[in-house]
Each structure stands twice: as C-alpha cells, then as structure tokens.
Amino acid sequence: MTIEPTARLEARLPARVYATLKRAAELSGRSVTDFVVNAAHDAARRAIEDETIMRLSAEDQLRFAQALLNPPRPNAALKRAKRLHREQVEVR
C-alpha cells in the first residue's frame, strides 16, 4: 500500500463561517477537515470543468457535426493561412 503525499493548507475565517462548517461536518458525520477538503475539492473540479468543457446546445451540436461531415470549401482566407503556415512552419 502506498501513502499519498500530503500538503498543508491553512486558512483564517470568520467564527460564524467556521461554526457553519463545523455544524455541516457534524451533520454529515465527518471531521471539519474532511468536510472542508472534500467540499473544496468538489468546487475546484467544478470550476475546472466549467472552464475546460465546452457545452453546446442541441442545435449547435448538430451544426458542428454537419460542418465536420460536410466541411465548407476553403475560402481565400483559409488558403492564405495554409500558405503562410507552410512557409513559416513546415519549411523549418
């Protein structure tokens, strides 16, 4: 069995906030530390997910899929970008 390394987190908070955390921990049958660590970890995962996962409406999902299956013909801007990429990146 391997022991996961730990890190220390220290925080000062208003007594009323601590009382609320303590009460919530007691109601869930956990220590304040366990309650706070789990709540903070859940909040961190949600924040990361909110910033890294793109959610599309059903209509936008359909448009995206259609664009992948039937891409539009390259326009002048795309042709220029491809030429510049080839000149600046692929040649090196």
pLDDT of residue 55: 92
Residues 47 and 62 in one domain: no
pLDDT of residue 16: 98
Residues 43 and 67 in one domain: no
CA 59 – CA 36 distance, rounded (Å): 39
Q: Within the chain, where are the H helices?
A: 15-27, 32-52, 58-69, 76-85
2-61: pLDDT as tens digits: 899 999 999 999 999 999 999 999 999 999 999 999 999 999 999 999 999 999 999 999
Closest to 13 (Cα-Cα) out of 42, 30, 34, 36: 36
Expressed as residue numbers, the domain containing 33 is 15-52
Domain assignment of residue 43, yes or no? yes
pLDDT of residue 30: 97
CA 34 – CA 41 distance, rounded (Å): 10
Domain assignment of residue 10, yes or no? no
Domain assignment of residue 3, yes or no? no
pLDDT of residue 89: 86
Contact 55, 61 (CB under 8 A): no
Residues 48 and 62 in one domain: no
Residues 22 and 47 in one domain: yes
CA 33 – CA 15 distance, rounded (Å): 15
77-87: pLDDT as tens digits: 999 999 999 98
67-79: pLDDT as tens digits: 999 998 889 999 9
Q: Domain total for the chain?
A: 2
Residues 44 and 64 in one domain: no
Q: Taken in order 46, 51, 57, 63, is the CA torsion positive or negative?
A: negative
Residue 38 Cα distances to 11, 16, 41, 55, angstroms = 15, 20, 5, 26
